[in-house]
Amino acid sequence: MDVSTGPGGGAPLAAFLRARRDRVRPEQHRLAAGAQRQVPGLRRDEVALLAGISTDYYVRLEQGRERRPSPTVVEGLSRALLLDAVAARYLRELAVADSVADPVAGEEALRMSTERLAAVHQLLGSLPVPALLVNRWLDIVGSNPLGDRLHEGLEPRDNYARLVFLAPGAPSFFTEWPELARCMVAALRAQTGSGTASPRLTRLTRLVAELSAKSDVFRTVWREHHLYEKAMDHKRLRHPRIGTLALDQHVLELPGSGGHRIWAFHPADEATSDALLGLTGTVSR
């Protein structure tokens, strides 16, 4: 499955509009639901009216015949489709997706320098809680010893989405696995908006194709076009060696790093803090 197309084919902008229109109920805009409605969400003419554009123009957008709506049109569509800040930004990126002119420069912008990467690895090693360094594609670029031990026994461990969907023990390790799975898909989806010519989409395409082929859950949720970015989350894990853990996951942005983030897992209660003391000794890989 190519990240540049949706479940019904066509341009990514068109696929996104179709998916999000289906999720908005008429009552949310104080429109009469009516017994004769043939669609659960908004009709195309209703989106056009709410966005302040013609129905013909909106139809062209959904059919992929028009791919570059103006900023004013994008703002109107965001209001009509009740998009939150993350989804509205994603829509803006889709609207200018063809403007990436220099793929090589785009790839360079996503990398961290060798010196900075080494410094971040030093920072990870100094943290007293489990921590990972991940990039835009959720590749696990680095980890401190506690971060390794927290996820011991789970393979593959090169990418967090692969870990969640493909590691045999993941559904029992993550006590709220279905919700986490949806978040992982939505986090990857949020990375697909900024340029179909971007080298990162080539990597995302491969990852999405792999996960779609190997996981029915991933394939189903990917088609829903959910988007998700977080600054903090709460995790409950069932570690095979030290039992149930309650952790607050903090997402620390690294400015100027091409989208790299540190995930730090802080104990949410005293029992977890005590249990983490048991994650000592040789790192299990």
CB–CB of 150/173 below 8 Å?
Answer: no
Q: Is the pLDDT of residue 2 over 80?
A: no
Q: What is the pLDDT of residue 282?
A: 43
- 12-30+37-98 CATH, one of 1.20.1270.30, 2.40.30.10, 3.40.50.1010, 1.10.260.40: 1.10.260.40
Q: What is the pLDDT of residue 185?
A: 95
Q: What is the mean pLDDT of residues 110-131?
A: 89
Map tokens 């409950």 to a residue. Answer: 236
Residues of the chain with CATH 3.30.450.180: 114-281
H-helix segments, the chain = 12-23, 44-51, 55-62, 71-80, 85-95, 103-109, 114-126, 145-150, 160-166, 170-173, 177-189, 199-214, 216-222, 270-276
Q: Residue 35: which pLDDT band, with cuts at 50, 70 and 90? A: low
State yes or no: cis peptide before 156, omega within 30 of 0. Answer: yes
Q: What is the pLDDT of residue 93?
A: 86
All residues at 6 or more sequence positions from 87 whose CB lies less than 8 Å from its CB, including other chains: 20, 78, 81, 227
Beta-bridge mates of residue 248 = 234, 266
| CATH 3.40.50.1580 matches 114-281 | no
Q: Out of 29-38, 85-94, 208-217, 229-238, give the one with best mean pLDDT.
A: 208-217
Q: Is the pLDDT of residue 116 over 50?
A: yes
Q: What is the mean pLDDT of residues 72-89?
A: 94
> In degrees rounded to 5, what are phi and psi of residue 239?
-75, 135
- Specify the pTM: 0.79
pLDDT tens-digit readout, 176-235? 999 999 999 999 988 776 544 455 567 788 999 999 999 999 999 998 888 988 889 999
Mean pLDDT across the chain: 86
Q: What is the mean pLDDT of residues 10-38?
A: 84
Residues of the chain with CATH 1.10.260.40: 12-30+37-98
Instruction: Compute and round to an integer the Cα radius of gyration of the chain.
Output: 21
